[in-house]
Amino acid sequence: MPLHLKPCRLLAYGALACLLAGPLAAVARADDFKISVAMGIGGHFRAGTWLPVTVTIINTGTDPVHGQVQLYAADPTGSGADSLFARPADVAVSGPAPQAFQLYTRSLDPARFDVVAQLISGAERGDGRVLAKISSSADPRSFSGLAVGDKDLFLVGFSADPAAFTYLNGQKWGLMHTAASVAPEATITVGARIGGGPNATQTFIASGSQASVQAATASPADLPDKPAGYSGVDAVLLRADAPLDSLSEAQTDALKAWVAAGGHLVVCGGADPTPFSNAFYSGLLPAGIGPAVSVPAPPGLGVGGTVPALALTPKPLPDVRVLSSLGSRPVVVAGPYGAGRVSLIAFDPTAPAFRASTGPAEAAFWQNALSSHPSSFLGVVAAREEGRRSPFYYGYGGFEQLSDAVMRAPALDAPGAGVVGLFLLAYVLILVPVNYLVLKRLDKKEWSWVTVPALVLVFAVATYGVGYAAKGSSVFVNRAAVVETAAGQRQAGLYTEIGLFSPHRTAYDLTVADPNALAAIPAPPEEFGPYGRRGQPAGGAYGQTRFVQTSGDAKVQDAAVNMWAMRAFDLQTVTDLGGAITSSLSHNPGTGAVNGTLANHTPHALTECRLFLNGQWQPVADLPPGATASVAATFPVGPSNALYLISTQQWAQMPPLASHPDKNDPNSTVGQRMRAALADFVRDAGGNPNNGQYFGPNNDPPPVFLPRADEAILTGWSTDDSLAGPPLRVDGHPVTQNNVTFVVVHIPLR
pLDDT digits (tens, 9 = 90+) for 373-390: 778 889 888 888 876 643
40 pLDDT above the threshold of 60: yes
Summarised one tens digit per residue, pLDDT across range 383-426 is 888 766 433 333 334 567 888 888 887 666 666 677 778 878 88
- Return the SS3 of 588: strand
In CATH, 156-186+207-260+264-372 is 3.40.50 = yes
Summarised one tens digit per residue, pLDDT across range 523-574 is 764 333 333 333 333 444 456 789 999 989 999 999 988 888 889 999 999 9
Q: What mean pLDDT is reported for the chain?
A: 81
Cα–chain center distance at 583 = 28
Handedness of CA 662, 663, 665, 669 (dihedral sign): positive
654 vs 257: which has the higher pLDDT = 257
Which is it for strands 130-135 and 114-121: parallel, antiparallel or unpaired?
antiparallel
Which is it for strands 476-486 and 491-502: parallel, antiparallel or unpaired?
antiparallel
CA angle 707, 264, 327 (to 5 degrees): 90
Task: Specify the pLDDT at position 14.
Answer: 53
Query: CA nearest 737: which of 747, 746, 727?
Result: 727
Task: Specify the pLDDT at position 105.
Answer: 92
- Return the SS3 of 524: coil
What is the spatial distance between Cα 557 and Cα 335, in angstroms, rounded to a whole number? 40
Enclosing H/E stretch for 213: strand 213-217
Confidence label for 185 from pLDDT (cuts 50, 70 and 90): confident
What would the CATH number be for the domain defined by 26-146? 2.60.40
Which residues have CB under 8 Å from 671's CB, separation 6+? Answer: 719, 738, 739, 740
Query: CA nearest 178: which of 745, 702, 529, 528?
Result: 702
Per-domain residue ranges for the chain? 26-146, 156-186+207-260+264-372, 416-471
Summarised one tens digit per residue, pLDDT across range 311-338 is 999 999 888 999 988 878 899 999 999 9
What is the spatial distance between Cα 744 and Cα 160, in angstroms, rounded to a whole number? 38
Query: CA nearest 215: which of 237, 232, 230?
Result: 237
Query: CA nearest 281: which of 344, 234, 227, 350?
Result: 344
Backbone φ and ψ of 465, nearest 5° = -65, -45
Residue 69 in contact with residue 102, Cβ under 8 Å? no
Which of 178-192, 240-254, 450-464 is most confident? 240-254
Give the single-character DSSP code of 168. Answer: G
What is the spatial distance between Cα 166 and Cα 163, in angstroms, rounded to a whole number? 5
Buried-state track 99-136, b at ≥16 Cβ within 10 A, e below 16: eebbbbbbbbbbebbebbbbbbbebeebeeeebbbbbb
Task: Specify the pLDDT at position 4.
Answer: 46
Ramachandran quadrant class, 721 (left: phi over 0; alpha: psi -120 to 50; beta: rest): alpha
Confidence label for 79 from pLDDT (cuts 50, 70 and 90): very low
472 pLDDT above the threshold of 60: yes
Q: With 0-12 CB in 10 A as exposed, 13-18 as middle and 19+ as buried, what is 496?
A: buried
20 pLDDT above the threshold of 60: no
- In the chain, how long is the greatest CA-to-CA distance? 116
Share of residues in the chain with pLDDT > 70 (%): 79
Per-residue pLDDT, averaged over 78-102, amounts to 83
Query: CA nearest 236: which of 377, 340, 327, 329?
Result: 340
Residue 122 in contact with residue 65, Cβ under 8 Å? no
Per-residue pLDDT, averaged over 496-509, amounts to 91
Task: Specify the pLDDT at position 667.
Answer: 79
Query: CA nearest 102: which of 84, 88, 113?
Result: 88
* Weakest-pLDDT range from 325-334, 352-361, 383-392, 644-653: 644-653
Residue 528 in contact with residue 48, Cβ under 8 Å? yes
Per-residue pLDDT, averaged over 134-159, amounts to 92
Residue 467 in contact with residue 564, Cβ under 8 Å? yes
pTM, whole model, 2 decimals? 0.84
Which is it for strands 287-296 and 187-188: parallel, antiparallel or unpaired?
unpaired
Task: Specify the pLDDT at position 543.
Answer: 62
